[in-house]
């Protein structure tokens, strides 16, 4: 993770942004027919994916358009219902907003039936990157709320995205809703920035605790906190600080009402898989991506895994692997 430092200067971003802004693209209407109508009652497991798509303006990966098409291919192959994305950044440059990747992603996922999408531009700052957090769903999004951390880098509006998804229910039955928090925390492991990340974690867990209490009063608490926490539960974290920061994160999530983590288990004969492709200089397995869920949602989980997302030709979607979980939520 520490190797993912900014490689593009602010001046370079500004110049590139101006060039793109001077040649705007017309947004083509989508005439593709989405997947058959949004279900009102769940008849098969709800499949949820979380994926960091590696689209930072400062330290993003190459071949963005090709990787976006690979992402689309994987979503279709895996029959995903709800996609939780980190690093789908847009860039604010004064009154202008550069959002090519986010705009293209929205159109491509619309073609797959993800007709309910949160705004990728809601956290766009005057100068710099948005939070990069987006949710795409085949089920109606009942609520979305975007927040930025009080402690963060000035050029990236990192924070969290609160979403309530309506899963439908039979007439007269209790509403079935999925509450999720999508987040992306500070990446650096310098002591100064570790303190910032810990403060971000406190803000997130406090808010998650409050919202979970509010939602539990009116509906069943099917809820998760998911995303790129930049806190490793694997070999990298063990070497870095003996996994102390991850244990603190676990405790904070338990205290907020999210005591279970998915994937639930791994092959007893093999190590815990990493979710970040190992850096050549270290080769240590690193798992900065996590999915914390309530006991109620955990009880509905029928499968969960780490998925190496890539297209049929082997092109990797991202430097991160994806988290996938399936839930059979009772009617």
Tell which residue, 224, 153, 159, 227, has the closest CA to residue 190.
153
Cα(309)–Cα(244) distance, integer angstroms: 29
Q: Averaged over 273-292, what is the pLDDT?
A: 87
How many other C-beta atoms can be found within 10 angstroms of the C-beta atom of residue 293? 29
pLDDT for the residue numbered 12: 45
**Number of structural domains in the chain:** 1
Task: For residue 14, tell me if it sits in a domain.
Answer: no
Task: For residue 4, tell me if it sits in a domain.
Answer: no
Q: Which domain holds residue 179?
A: 44-327
Task: For residue 229, tell me if it sits in a domain.
Answer: yes
Lowest mean pLDDT among 138-152, 169-183, 306-320: 169-183
Task: For residue 32, tell me if it sits in a domain.
Answer: no
pLDDT for the residue numbered 201: 98
Place of tokens 């939070």: 131
Task: For residue 20, tell me if it sits in a domain.
Answer: no
110, HSE (Cβ side, Cα atoms, 13 Å)? 13
- Report CA-CA distances (Å) from 159 to 125, 150, 191: 12, 9, 20
Q: Averaged over 42-58, what is the pLDDT?
A: 91
Q: Which tens digit of pLDDT belongs to each residue from 219-278?
A: 668 999 999 999 999 999 999 999 999 999 999 999 999 999 999 755 445 677 899 997
Q: Which tens digit of pLDDT belongs to each residue from 58-106?
A: 888 999 999 999 999 999 999 999 999 999 999 999 999 998 799 999 9
Task: For residue 8, tell me if it sits in a domain.
Answer: no
Task: For residue 37, tell me if it sits in a domain.
Answer: no
Instruction: Indicate if the pLDDT at residue 290 is higher than 70.
Output: yes
pLDDT for the residue numbered 59: 87
Instruction: Indicate if the pLDDT at residue 325 is higher than 90.
Output: yes
Tell which residue, 38, 117, 124, 122, has the closest CA to residue 83.
117
Task: For residue 24, tell me if it sits in a domain.
Answer: no
Q: How far is residue 44 CA from its own chain's centroid?
A: 23
Cα(328)–Cα(331) distance, integer angstroms: 9
CATH code at position 218: 3.60.10.10
């Amino acid at each position: 993770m520490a190797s993912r430092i900014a490689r593009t200067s602010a001046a370079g971003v500004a110049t590139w942004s101006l060039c793109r802004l001077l040649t705007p693209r017309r947004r083509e209407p989508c005439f593709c027919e989405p997947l058959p109508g949004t279900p009102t009652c769940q008849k098969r497991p709800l499949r949820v994916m979380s994926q960091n798509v590696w689209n930072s303006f400062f330290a993003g990966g190459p071949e963005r358009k090709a990787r976006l098409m690979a992402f689309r291919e994987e979503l279709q192959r895996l029959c995903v219902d709800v996609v939780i994305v980190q690093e789908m950044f847009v860039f604010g440059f004064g009154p202008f907003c550069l959002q090519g990747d986010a705009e293209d992603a929205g159109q491509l996922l619309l073609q797959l039936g993800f007709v309910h999408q949160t705004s990728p531009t809601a956290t766009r700052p005057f100068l710099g990157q948005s939070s990069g957090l987006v949710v795409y769903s085949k089920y109606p999004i009942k609520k979305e709320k975007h927040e930025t951390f009080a402690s963060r880098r000035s050029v990236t509006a990192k924070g969290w995205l609160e979403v309530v998804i309506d899963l439908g229910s039979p007439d007269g039955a209790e509403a079935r809703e999925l509450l999720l928090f999508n987040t992306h925390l500070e990446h650096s492991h310098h002591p100064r920035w570790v303190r910032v990340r810990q403060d971000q974690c406190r803000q997130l867990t406090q808010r998650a605790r409050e919202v979970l209490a509010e939602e539990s009063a009116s509906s069943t608490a099917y809820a998760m906190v998911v995303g790129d926490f930049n806190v490793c539960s694997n070999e990298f974290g063990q070497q870095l600080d003996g996994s102390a920061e991850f244990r603190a994160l676990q405790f904070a999530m338990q205290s907020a009402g999210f005591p279970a983590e998915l994937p639930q288990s791994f092959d007893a004969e093999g190590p815990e898989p990493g979710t970040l492709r190992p850096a050549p200089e270290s080769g240590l397995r690193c798992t900065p991506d996590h999915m914390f869920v309530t006991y109620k949602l955990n009880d509905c989980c029928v499968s969960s895994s780490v998925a190496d997302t890539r297209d049929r030709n082997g092109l990797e979607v991202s430097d991160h692997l994806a988290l996938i979980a399936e839930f059979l939520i009772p009617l």
